Every structure is written in C-alpha cells, then in structure tokens.
Amino acid sequence: MGLLPKLRPVEYPLLLEPKFGFEPREQQQPRRLKIVTGNQIRKAAVLSFDETAALMSHLRRSTIATRILPALGIAVAVAFAAAGTGGLGLVTPGLAQAGALTKAQAAAGAAYAKALGEFKEILAERRAQIDAKQALPNLPGQAIYLARIKVMSTYKDLTDVLPSRLGRPNRFGVPPAYFDADIEPLIEEYAALFRVMQAPPAHAQASSTPFKDVIDLGTVIARAKGLDAATADAAGRISLGLFFAETNGNQNIGNARSNTYKGSLQTGMTEDRNGSRAWAAIKSRVAALDPVVAARDDKEAARVGNGDQRFNHWTAVRNGLMNAHADLFPQIPAIVKMLPDQIDQMKLFELIQIIPTPTRAALASGNFAAYRISDPRIMGFLRNNSIFTFGKADRARTSATFREILDAMWLFNDKFKGAQTRFEEIKAQGRGRAR
C-alpha cells in the first residue's frame, strides 16, 4: 500500500451512504426569508409583506419549527406595520426576553438551520435530475454527502452549546447529540438517491449467495495462511464486516463519490490486480484445503473472462481481501486477545482500508490502544471517513490515540452489528445442513 494511505479526501468509498435518505421533497426555503433572533431583535427588524408571508408559510410546513425556533428563543408575532405602510411586519413582542440566548447559541442554531436548508435543497435538486432522467454531474453523490456531514456537524455544535436541543433516539443508531430524529425522512431519501446513483452496471455479475461468498473466501484465505478453524472463522466474520463497512452489504455497486473505487469491496484497478496476483500465489493451497471453493473460483474466473473483476462479486471480494487484509490475518489471534470486542476487531481491519501504514505501525508498537497519530494528513483521512468529523471540537483535534479512533468510529457500529448477525445466521444454517 506504500508509505502513506491513498489520498481519498474527496472521493472515497461510500462507507456511510446507504444508511441515510428522504421522501418528502419540501420546497426550498424562501430566498428572501429573514429570521429575527437574539441581538437582531433589538434592531426591531421589519419584513415586507411578501417576506412575512413566506416566513409563516415556511413555519407551517417546517419539520423543525416547533423545536428550532423555541430553542433559539425566538418570539415571533405578525402585526400590522405602522399606518400607511400597507403591509404586514414581523415584530417581536418578547423584547424583554431577547437576552435569553447567548450569541454562541443563536449562531449555532442559525448555522444548523442553514445547513439543513442546504441539505434539503441538494436532495431535491438531485431527485429532480434523476426523475427527469437528466445527466448527473461528475461525482453526483459528493455534494449531498458533504451536505449531510454539515447537517450532523452543525447539529453537534448546536447541542454542545444548547443541550436542550438533544432529542429522542433515532432509528439509525446515531447518538442524539449528532442527529435530530425529526429529519429521518431526509436520510431515507439520501439513501434512496445513492441506491440509484451507484446501482451496479449492466455488465455486473451478481451472486445469489453474496454474504456466504465473503465468509467462505475470508475463511479459506485464513486457512491458507496457516490458521486454525476458530481463527479462520474470525477471519470470515471480519471479512463480512468489511463488506458491510464498504458497501452496506450491496454487491457490485459503483460509487457516486469516486471514479476510482468500485465493486463489492470498493477497490481501484491497481488494488484489484494486486489482489488477483496474490490470490494466484495461494490458489494451490486453497484447492487442497477446500476443493469446493477452488471450483467456484474457477467458475467465476471463467465467467468474468477479460472483464473488470471488480464487478464480479466473487472475484471482487477475493481480490480486495488479498490486496489489503490477507497478510494481516495471521495476527488475528493477537488482535482478538488485544481487542476482545468483535466490533473493535472489525474496526481495526477497516482502518487498514483507510490508514493502512499507521494502523500497521500501531499493531507493531506493542501498545496499539495508546499509539498516537499526529500527522495532519492522517487526521484528514480519518475525517474524510466520518471519524472526528462532526462538530467544532472534533474538527479541532490535532491528534488521537487508536483507542480514541476506535471509539470515534461509532457510525460503523450499526454496520458491523449487521455483519455479526448475518454471520451467525449463515453459520447456523451451515450447522443445520451438517446434521
């Protein structure tokens, strides 16, 4: 993988994409909308008739009006303006309460409202383009990805300064400090858009058993590396976790944020070729250990022929594992002892995808958890993968230990739990057939 991880600041595998999206396509906020808050109240700002009507229309349909506005201490009333103006003005009867919100709280609330409006706008724009079958821009998922990151980040800033904004748990398992459950429908649309934008190409070769394939390949690779059955099982589980982390378990997908990384394990062409060569070097051992897997490999290799092996599920997973992870499989016994939590184990292997060289250095240090990263480039790679990304406090960090990094990978937890569940289901099915 070289001395440094591949620079993927803008285009990296989706990672968190298919979890999030929205259905109602709300109108954009009125462009001339003014909201009088905090110190602005003191200026007795007055809106025109059109602006006032737009504001009240927005408030009636806003999913956040009942929470954002009260939290910001906004006392809004509509009253007739002075005689002769012929219109309505927005005035604030609660002038005595204007100091209830600090400047930081008001600014945080305004930043979140702005980010949320921008998120809705780009979702609606991309949906309209897709529905009209218009040509999409290059990397069509990047703008909506960044908009989602900004929404979560500004919400964390808001809850940091205004804890009363902490809401109820959400069905995505995101800590409430980072995510307002009221915008779950937006995240559903986000996911729906990504499903369209990175659907597998027409020539992709799917498998009817995609999860079992990943487990079988991870397991046999570990056995070919000389590991016992229990350790090989752990390698199969970890491999399935990587599949979920990279694609949420969707095979043969493209990537709406990258022109480089594609397929079931989101590899580039060079990584895919390197993995293919590494597999060829152990193929004879695989055949001796598991003739069924070897025969399946022959079949899939013939099926893809001279095509792109990243879009055959079997060969994509095989090559991805061999390129980045197989050489680390012999260390699984030590990793399991060091990190007994299975989620942490899968996070470590995902870090081999994101920051391979520092992760290997941490493993070799003798104190993985305490090994500290301070290189700004490495911190940037982490942030690009939603680690230390949300809120000013995290973004201001200049270093982190690997224990802190693992803890900050909370957006991966749901993915890895899903992989654990599917792994146990498939293993149970195998035991049932063996009876």
Question: Is a pLDDT exceeding 80 seen at residue 397?
Answer: yes
Cβ neighbors of 16 (< 8 A, separation 6 or more) are: 386, 411
Provide the percentage of residues in the chain whose pLDDT is more than 70: 77
Looking at residues 286-291, what average pLDDT do you find?
Answer: 98
pLDDT tens by residue, 290-312: 999 999 999 999 999 999 999 99
pLDDT given for residue 432 in this prediction = 74
Span 342-390, pLDDT tens digits: 999 999 999 999 999 999 999 999 999 999 999 999 999 999 999 999 9
Percent of the chain whose predicted confidence (pLDDT) is above 90: 75
- The Cα–Cα gap between 429 and 435 comes to 10
In order of 71, 292, 402, 428, 430, the CA distances from 433 in angstroms are 58, 16, 41, 9, 5
Over range 278-286, report the average pLDDT.
Answer: 98
At 17 the pLDDT is 41
Identify the pLDDT of residue 266.
96
Give the per-residue pLDDT at 19: 36
How many Å apart are CA 35 and CA 39, to the nearest integer? Answer: 12
pLDDT (0 to 100) of residue 73: 39
Structure confidence by residue, pLDDT tens digits, 321-349: 999 999 999 999 999 999 999 999 999 99
The structure tokens 């991870």 sit at: 218
Within 10 Å of residue 223's Cβ, how many Cβ atoms? 23
Radius of gyration of the CA atoms of the chain, in A = 25
Give the global pTM.
Answer: 0.78
Q: Which has more pLDDT, 68 or 263? A: 263
The confidence score (pLDDT) of residue 111 equals 98
Most confident stretch, 12-16, 75-79, 269-273, 431-435: 269-273
What pLDDT score does 87 carry?
A: 34
Residues in contact with 190: Cβ distance below 8 Å, sequence separation at least 6, in sequence order: 17, 20, 21, 22, 123, 144, 148
What confidence score (pLDDT) does residue 308 get?
97
Distance (Å, whole) CA 344 – CA 336: 9
Tokens representing 251?
């095979």
For 218-230, how does the pLDDT look when each residue is reduced to its tens digit (9 = 90+)?
999 999 999 999 9
Mutual angle of helices 184-197 and 103-131, in 10-degree steps = 40
Domain ranges of the chain: 17-197, 210-434
> What pLDDT digit, counting tens, does each position of 147-162 carry?
999 999 999 999 999 9
Q: What is the pLDDT of residue 46?
A: 35
CA distance 118 to 404: 31
Where does the pLDDT of residue 21 fall: very low under 50, low under 70, confident under 90, or very high at 90 and above?
Answer: very low
Give the chain's mean pLDDT. 83
Q: Where are the alpha helices (DSSP H) in 79-162?
A: 103-131, 142-161
Please tell me the distance from the alpha carbon of residue 162 to that of residue 185, in angstroms, as a whole number: 24
Question: What SS3 state is found at 77?
Answer: strand
Which 3 state secondary structure label does DSSP give 15? Answer: coil
Q: Which pLDDT does position 435 carry in this prediction?
A: 63
* DSSP reduced 3-state for 267: strand
Q: Is the pLDDT of residue 22 over 50?
A: no
Mean pLDDT for the stretch of residues 42-56: 36
Q: Among 7-21, 49-63, 365-379, which range has the highest average pLDDT?
A: 365-379
State residue 433's pLDDT score. 74
Q: What is the pLDDT of residue 55?
A: 41
Q: Give the phi and the psi of residue 234 in degrees, each rounded to 5.
A: -60, -40
pLDDT over 60 (residue 44)? no
The per-residue pLDDT for 434 is 66
Element (H, E) at 356: helix 356-364
pLDDT band at 216 (very low <50, low <70, confident <90, very high): very high
